[in-house]
Structure 1
């Protein structure tokens, strides 16, 4: 029988914090979320998010069954596996596609960030509090912890969870020695709507994820294609949306957008003009697009056309930073998850999935505490060990991909291409390295 005395305070209403809140609420644990944004729709933007199997399993386990079914119904198909190519579209390796008979919780899903946020907020109206800027926490003599907010209010619980992103104030107080370092890579990304007149696109662009490893720089592409038309989604799960007090039109509005190919170009900072951001905002996307096109002169014509035809208003620049490794610390009634502790460059789409993994791992630990199967601090210590191991493995992987993308040493690039080519012709090697 869950004990009513376990109270959890979550600072930050991103996907990790909300996923944890959904899982704890479903388990009958007293939980509150405090988010600095003024309203639920303050951040309805961005590309769709590739939820890999580890993230799918976490969302499946934390969300109520009806919300999970709605998420799957409104998601897109990111395609089977991933291809690695040269800049001339010569295949080096194709990652094994997952078996088609896998359950939806074991599959990858291309999810609208807008839709995912609305689903994660569903049913939490009395639990998520907006306009709450966290300033610091205070650990109390009775074993509780109090979160303090800029408006003079506070919240007290048995556990405080920092899910407040890469610039986490919770982490700064808990682990003042933890650092984030800038990395030399610069990313430029955009999205090309799919539709009529795109016959020139290589078929790989419209069916799967792809990584291009030229003699310099790096390009990643992913297709975001709806599994079904919006009308079919309404017909199949519209009643479930309304039963959950969700507006079907509002919830799936992002699914009405055109399907698109997302691309992300990465280069070393020194390879790009220092005054890249001096262009007025209105013309910045066009200048960024022209810059990328100019560096793809010897690439496959379809890749050059992908960049050249991308609407300039979708093209943006991204600067990268990464968390430095953190050693285990003495466990207290304050912990962290996701980007608050192991932020990483968005290369490979690992960060969001790592945050979802953390949320599910912490949910399981706290359920054990609430059911009297474990004491709080040992359960949190076990969670932190798993979180640090998984999270910083993802940081290393993302950093490795970024270094591969930005290293000017052509010998290293040749070695990397040879490695992927070997993985392409030796399935056991490929599976050993790239399997889940």
Structure 2
């Protein structure tokens, strides 16, 4: 292989795959993305994503300056405070922005709440001609000269020097490359919804809900995460405002401020009377209302005031960490290798971190500084370390959220109240809480 002619095939046009493609294009490395969606506007759905400093630094490195500026301009705002409550909405712990983030930061080192839909539009900007739509990956084969050919269900194929599986938790690339790497059900199931922040709706909510995320800790079995998502006046229409496909009705979380909520419990804790997957939005909404019936009226108002069309079910899965494997010119990033629960809010940031490190490895190959397999091996060694650590931390948080141990939950709440009463200790113990 002539290093200067390196060509990279990326299977999957999600956050990590597109960020990698943006970085390679910016660095002058040939790249093509193969996406199963038929059009760039097929994914008009999603929820708020928290981009932490790791993700921000990756985007700053990988995106051209104008795209990074678009990312920061279209990010939502809702504060970086974090609160913990019990189900009666008694405050257990309040972490102000000075604790969670260390105060004001530059955009490339900061925290951003962003619509998943908007972020994808930013990541697609400038990639016309580099993204092939309607390409559902089927398999890959090695060529006699050591390159790799990807085959797609429509009968087409593509050959490159490196194949990157960025095709999500159900990755077909992983299934062929690392068939022993599993993704399993955790037993945790969430009902999620969006509470639209109309003027009337705002008055029904506690003001604290608009100042940053919060976690609700009932005595046992379940929990709820809450996060506001608002926009600067010019942000909502900054991307796609002239595209009929991106009209406000289609892009609810791209144009309308809202509070996102996620109610979590183990599957057996729900009293649904039938399979959760058989319930529509209205049925799930009724179930969430029933499960929170004894909660504070201020918390119930959030669930009860939610449009049922925004309510959906998300069974929580996780990857199972695997031992090191021998590096080749096929590799993986993001959920394709270290799919994790959403309970730490770090999945997208870990995928962006992957994209940044893999980009650096592939640029070194293109410049003739390293052979391709050792370069990818170095990336994979690093990625396995922080990626599977994130998987374990995320799963631990998920299990704590739905723990059926009332004694453990009681002592956890007691510790939070104690920290809350000692500001100096609280600042020391929780410094940088939002950076994780």
Alignment of 1:24-423 (within 5 A): 24-95=24-95, 96-197=99-200, 198-216=202-220, 217-230=222-235, 248-250=241-243, 254=251, 257-272=255-270, 273=272, 275-277=274-276, 284-423=280-419
Change (3 A) 1:38 1:91: same
8 Å CA contact retained: 1:83, 1:209: yes
* Gapped regions of structure 1 (runs ≥ 5): 235-245
After TM superposition, give the deviation of residue 248 of structure 1 in Å.
4.8
CA–CA distance in structure 1, aligned partners of residues 428 and 211 of structure 2: 24
Structure 1 CA distance for aligned equivalents of residues 176 and 277 of structure 2:
35
| Cα separation, 2, equivalents of 1:102 and 1:398 | 26
- C-alpha separation in 2, matches of 1:391 and 1:32: 25
Aligned residues of 2:78 and 2:210 also touching (Cα < 8 A)? no
Tell me by how many angstroms 1:63 deviates: 0.7
Q: Is the 8 A contact 2:102 2:432 kept in 1?
A: no
User: Is 1:187–1:265's contact at 8 Å kept on the other side of the alignment?
Assistant: yes
- For these two proteins, the number of residue pairs brought into alignment is 420
Change (3 A) 1:55 1:434: closer
Bigger Cα displacement from structure 2, 271-280 vs 345-354: 271-280
Q: Secondary structure at the match of 2:184?
A: strand
C-alpha deviation, 1:388, in angstroms = 1.3
Cα separation, 1, equivalents of 2:286 and 2:55: 35
**Of 321-330 and 106-115, the range deviating more from structure 2:** 106-115
In structure 2, distance between residues paired with 1:378 and 1:288: 49
Task: Report the Cα distance in structure 1 between the residues aligned to 2:247 and 2:18, rounded to whole angstroms.
Answer: 19
Q: Structure 1 residues 230 and 58, CA, compared in 2 at 3 Å: closer, same or farther?
A: closer
Structure 1 residues 58 and 422: alpha-carbon distance in aligned structure 2, compared to 1, 3 A threshold: farther
Measure the CA separation in 1 of the matches of 2:304 and 2:340. Answer: 29
Question: Cα deviation per residue 1:58-96 (whole Å; 9 max; x = unaligned)?
Answer: 111111000111111111114114222222222222332
| Displacement over 4 Å in runs of 4+ | 251-256, 432-436
Report the more deviating stretch, 166-175 or 190-199: 190-199
Shift of 1:276: 4.2
**Gapped runs of 5+ residues in structure 2?**
none
RMSD: 2.2
Give 1:201 deviation, angstroms: 1.0
Partners of 2:167 and 2:409 lie apart in 1 by 37
For residue 423 of structure 1, report the CA deviation from its aligned partner. 4.6
* More displaced stretch, 150-159 vs 317-326: 150-159
Distance in 2 separating the partners of 1:32 and 1:265: 39
Shift, 1:277, TM fit:
3.8
CA contact (8 A) 1:74 1:252 kept: no
Relative to structure 1, the CA distance from residue 278 to residue 138 in structure 2 (aligned partners, 3 Å threshold; closer, same or farther) is closer
Range moving further from structure 2, 133-142 or 258-267: 133-142
**Partner deviation per Cα, 1:136-190 (whole Å, 9 max, x = no partner):** 1112232211111122221111111000111111101111111111111110011
In structure 1, distance between residues paired with 2:323 and 2:278: 42
Between the aligned partners of 1:363 and 1:350, the Cα distance in structure 2 is 20
Q: CA deviation at 1:373?
A: 2.4
Q: Secondary structure at the match of 2:328?
A: coil
Q: In the aligned structure 2, how far is the partner of 1:23 from the partner of 1:286? A: 42
The offset of 1:326, in angstroms, is 1.1
Query: Structure 1, residues 332-357: CA drift from partner, whole Å, max 9, x if none?
Result: 11000001011112223221111111
Residues 178 and 54 from structure 1, CA distance in 2 versus in 1: closer, same or farther, beyond 3 angstroms? same
